[in-house]
Each structure stands twice: as structure tokens, then as C-alpha cells.
Amino acid sequence: MDNLGAPAREPVDVVNQHTGERWYYSDIVKEHFFNPRNLLLDDPKDGEFNASGIVGSPACGDVMRIWMKIDPDTERVKDLKWRTFGCGSAIAATSMFSVMVTEDGGRTLEEARAIKPQQIMERLGGLPNRKIHCSVLVDKAFDKAANDYFRGVGKYEKIIVEGAKVVDAATQTTDKDIEEAVLEGAADLDAVQRKLKVGIGNPEVIPEVEQLIRFYREKYYG
């Protein structure tokens, strides 16, 4: 009871102004926020990692980037570093995911892809409902990095494509891959092909690829 005789309230860190949901972040969440594991503040050196993935946009909120070192013989994740511009939940979720993927000698890419956002939340002791997307963000960034690795070693059959149009079935390159390549500075077909290998063994798709490059250049750069 407080001084006025009303029941004392549990301390909360977050109150949703729209739903009234009250949330107290677990000690595990706070630990991973204040002491994030595997955080990389500076860009890695060339050759330090053999896979990377990025999702999100600075214009609309959280951005997540992941770098990985994959053992080519076992496809185990031997190292994973990350950087995000996001909230405390996004930082904690990514930190925990990096631990889950690399602990006990590292999970294979297939095993790591099987990790669900709910499992990350369980290891953290829970997150507010409106922060569930933070654990989804790292999941999507990891999928992008895994696809980047498989594309780099020519294992196109292992690339997983969701919610995008496949432009080149041979390399499983999508319109979203081309969009992101343009956003990362690829200004012409040669630059896009260096990144994605799109159309190299399937030249009939090149006109569509060039059209997409023009479209995204005009969309983002005028």
C-alpha cells in the first residue's frame, strides 16, 4: 500500500500510451542493452567476414546490419557481428540472437535459420507486444546474410526468397536484391552483376535487370 492507502504499483519501464500496456524489462534485456554482445561499431576489414546482410531504412526507423564468418566445410557460423540504429529492444534482441547462433561452437546456417523470434524473446525473458518486431528485424537480417553467403559460394538452391519477385531463377536474384544493390551504390549493370551475379549465366533476364536499375536510380536519386 502507498501513503494514500492505494495498492502499490509494480515499477514499469514502459507504458503504451495507446493501449495502457505496462511493461517492466527483464534484467536479461537490460544486460544485453547496456552490454551488447558481438557489437561491431566500425566497419570490418576486407576479407574479415564472408557474408553480410542489411535490412531497414534510416528514413523509417530501425536499421540492422549483420556480418558473419561461415566455415565453408560445415556451414557453421563461427563469428557474427552486428550493428543497429534502433531501440533498446532491437539491441537486446540482436545481442541475444548473436549469442544463440555462435554458442557451443556455432550453429549451422540451417539451424540458425530455424530460430524463431519467439525463441529470442524467451531467452530475453519477454518483450512488450509492440516490440516483437525488433526480434523479427534480426531474423530478416540474418536471412539476408545467409543468402549472401550462399550466393557467394554458388549454392543458389539454398537461397530463400520471401515476398519478392524472382528476376533470375539461376541465382535466385529478386527485384528487392537489385533495389538494395542500387541503394548501396551499384549504379549500372556491371556493378549490380559484381554484387549479385545476376544475368551472367542467364542473359535473357538482362533487359529486365537494366530496367529495374533505371527505375530504382530514378526513384532514389532523381
What pLDDT, in 10s, does the model give residues 39-69?
Answer: 999 999 999 999 999 887 555 456 789 999 9
Q: Tell me phi and psi for residue 47, to 5 degrees.
A: 85, -5
User: Which grid cell sits at 133?
Assistant: 518486431
| 14 vs 1, higher pLDDT | 14
- Express each pLDDT in 142-197 by its tens digit: 999 999 999 999 999 999 887 789 999 999 999 989 988 888 788 899 999 999 99
Q: How many CB atoms lie within 10 A of CB 209?
A: 23
Q: What is the DSSP letter of 39?
A: B
Residues in the chain: 222
Q: Out of 60, 73, 190, 222, pick the active-site residue.
A: 60
Task: Mark whether 60 is an active-site residue.
Answer: yes
Task: Give the residue carrying C-alpha cell 557453421.
Answer: 76
Q: Out of 66, 90, 120, 134, pick the active-site residue.
A: 134
Helix (H, G, I), strand (E, B) or coil at 61: coil
Q: Model's pTM, two decimal places?
A: 0.74
* Predicted pLDDT at 58: 56
Q: How confident is the model at residue 17 (pLDDT cuts 50, 70, 90)?
A: low
CATH of 166-221 among 1.10.10.1100, 1.10.600.10, 2.60.120.560, 1.10.10.10: 1.10.10.1100
Q: Which of 79-88, 122-131, 185-194 has the lowest mean pLDDT?
A: 122-131
| 91 vs 206, higher pLDDT | 206
Say if CB 140 and CB 55 are below 8 A apart.
yes
Residues facing residue 14 across a β-bridge: 23
Q: For the chain, what are the domain ranges?
A: 14-155, 166-221
The CATH topology of domain 14-155 is: Sufe protein. Chain: A (3.90.1010)
Task: Mark whether 87 is an active-site residue.
Answer: no
Task: Give the residue carrying C-alpha cell 547496456.
Answer: 34
* Predicted pLDDT at 163: 78
Q: Tell me phi and psi for residue 201, to 5 degrees.
A: -105, 10
